[in-house]
Structure formats: structure tokens, C-alpha cells
């Protein structure tokens, strides 16, 4: 029972490099989300997708792009990484009131 | 803009004591979530509160929701060391057209000392 799976778990990037964080859920949920967590800040919503084929900006979308590839997968792309994007990234999916989080990706930009 | 405020942000308490964490939010919402997070881990769902007056209990933790006051509380009874963690409340900005994501408080870092 995998739930929400994120890859990679850890990543170090140099400033200016690009990368894509992958997220997949096996629960047939319509809604998926990307959050970032910084120390003392709680989680903040980057982008979300209410259903396959739709995406919307959250609270902190600048510097990120997303793709809802299909119902299962929702990826987050950093086109040109900056040190301010050092954070822990969580993907989540939801069905009605229940929200399920992945294990997180710890990203460091140097 | 929805704001969610937790207090206290840091709490050190002794085993066996009782304490309450408060979560205030700024706009109308009928869904409030409580999560627990251990260091380096993901979020563990504790409670989902869906209506005014909702009260849920699991072991030494009890959560309640007052939608009129826009306030939720997480009460810890007879704390034990295993409850040391960071606790987050989050409010759903569900608009009826789809799930718009959660707005989180900054978290309460709870340390329970023997």
C-alpha cells in the first residue's frame, strides 16, 4: 500500500541547475498538491491540481512549475534553482476530507 | 487571505501535566486538521474536525472546534515523553469547486520532559 510516493528523497543542486521532483499516488485521488516546509514556517502551498488537466497557483508559486501528467502523477520543476528554494518539499493527495502526504524531498541548493 | 495562528509556538512541559495548544484562523472554514510531525519525518494525521462543536479524542489527545470563534484546541492530558513532537493545525480552503489546499499554522514544538 504505497500511498503517496516522492522521488528523490534527498537532492543537492547548484544554483542555476534545474530538476524535477516526482510525485505519484496510487489511491485514485483527483486532487494533488505541492508544499514546501521551511524552519519555523509550517507548510506553504506551492501549486495544486484539483483534477487531471488542471493546475493552480498556491501561496508561493514563484520559481516553480508543475505538470499533472495524469491522474496519478504530479511533478514539480525548478527551472533555475536558487538558495532560497532550499527546503523540504511535500507532495500530497486528497479525497474528500482526507489528505495524505508523501515522505518528503529534502532539497539543498548551494 | 486566510491566516492560521498557533500558540504557543514552543512548549516545554513535564510528564503527567495537562496543556492546551490553540489554533485561531481568520476566515470561515468548516474543516480543520491537526497533524503531528516527528523530526525528519512526514506529517501524521491526528484529527479532522468537520463541524462546529466537533470533539475528537485519541488516547491522551483531544481536539475541538468552535467555528464561530474560529478556534480549535488540542488538549494533552497527562503528557508522556512519546508525545514530544511538532503539532500543526491546518485549515481547508475548500471552495466547493475543488480542494484548494490547506493553510498551516507555524507549528507548536512540544517537548515533554520526564
pLDDT band at B99 (very low <50, low <70, confident <90, very high): low
Q: Report the pLDDT value the prediction gives residue A66, as an integer from 0 to 100.
A: 98
Average pLDDT over residues A51-74: 94
DSSP state of A73: B
The CA distance from B44 to A90, in Å, is: 13
In chain A the beta strands, taken as DSSP E runs, fall at 4-7, 10-13, 19-25, 31-38, 42-49, 56-57, 64-68, 74-78, 87-95, 98-101, 105-109
The CA distance from A54 to A70, in Å, is: 10
The CA distance from B22 to B77, in Å, is: 15
Q: Which of B102, B107, B109 to mutate to test the interface with A (most CBs of A within 10 A)?
A: B102
pLDDT band at A91 (very low <50, low <70, confident <90, very high): very high
Q: pLDDT tens, B11-34?
A: 999 999 999 999 999 988 778 999
The Cβ of residue B94 has, within 10 Å, a number of other Cβ atoms equal to: 18
**To the nearest whole number, what is the mean pLDDT of chain A?**
95
Q: Report the pLDDT value the prediction gives residue B97, as an integer from 0 to 100.
A: 45
Per the CB < 8 Å rule, is A44 touching B45? no
A27 reaches B (C-beta below 8 A)? no
Alpha carbon A87 to its chain centroid, in Å, reads 11
* Nearest neighbour of B100 by CB, restricted to A43, A48, A102: A48
User: Which among B61, B85, B93 has a CA at the least distance from the CA of B75?
Assistant: B61
Would you say residue B98 has pLDDT above 60?
Answer: no
Q: pLDDT tens, A20-41?
A: 999 999 999 999 999 999 988 8
% of chain A at pLDDT higher than 90: 87
Determine if residue A61 is left, alpha or beta; phi over 0 gives left, psi from -120 to 50 gives alpha, anything else beta: alpha
**To the nearest whole number, what is the mean pLDDT of chain B?**
91
Q: What order of strands is seen across the sheet that includes strand A64-68?
A: A4-7, A19-25, A74-78, A64-68
Closest-CA distance, A95 to chain B, in angstroms, reads 9
Q: What nine digits make up the cell of B29?
A: 472554514
B23 reaches A (C-beta below 8 A)? no
Amino acid at each position: 500500500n504505497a500511498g503517496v510516493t516522492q522521488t528523490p528523497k534527498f537532492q543537492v543542486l547548484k544554483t542555476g541547475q534545474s530538476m524535477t521532483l516526482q510525485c505519484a499516488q496510487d489511491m485514485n485521488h483527483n486532487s494533488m498538491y505541492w508544499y514546501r516546509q521551511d524552519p519555523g514556517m509550517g507548510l506553504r502551498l506551492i501549486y495544486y491540481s484539483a483534477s487531471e488537466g488542471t493546475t493552480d497557483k498556491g501561496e508561493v508559486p514563484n520559481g516553480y512549475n508543475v505538470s499533472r501528467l495524469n491522474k496519478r502523477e504530479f511533478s514539480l520543476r525548478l527551472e533555475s534553482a536558487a538558495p532560497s528554494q532550499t527546503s523540504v518539499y511535500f507532495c500530497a493527495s486528497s479525497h474528500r476530507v482526507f489528505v495524505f502526504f508523501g515522505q518528503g524531498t529534502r532539497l539543498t541548493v548551494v | 487571505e486566510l491566516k492560521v495562528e498557533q500558540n504557543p509556538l514552543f512548549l516545554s512541559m513535564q510528564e503527567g501535566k495537562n496543556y492546551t495548544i490553540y489554533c485561531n484562523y481568520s476566515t470561515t472554514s468548516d474543516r480543520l486538521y491537526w497533524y503531528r510531525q516527528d523530526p525528519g519525518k512526514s506529517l501524521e494525521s491526528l484529527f479532522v474536525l468537520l463541524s462546529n462543536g466537533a470533539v475528537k479524542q485519541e488516547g491522551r489527545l483531544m481536539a475541538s472546534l468552535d467555528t464561530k470563534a474560529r478556534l480549535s484546541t488540542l488538549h494533552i492530558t497527562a503528557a508522556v515523553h512519546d508525545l514530544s513532537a511538532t503539532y500543526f493545525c491546518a485549515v481547508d480552503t475548500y471552495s466547493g469547486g475543488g480542494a484548494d489546499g490547506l493553510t498551516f499554522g507555524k507549528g507548536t514544538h512540544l517537548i515533554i520532559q520526564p
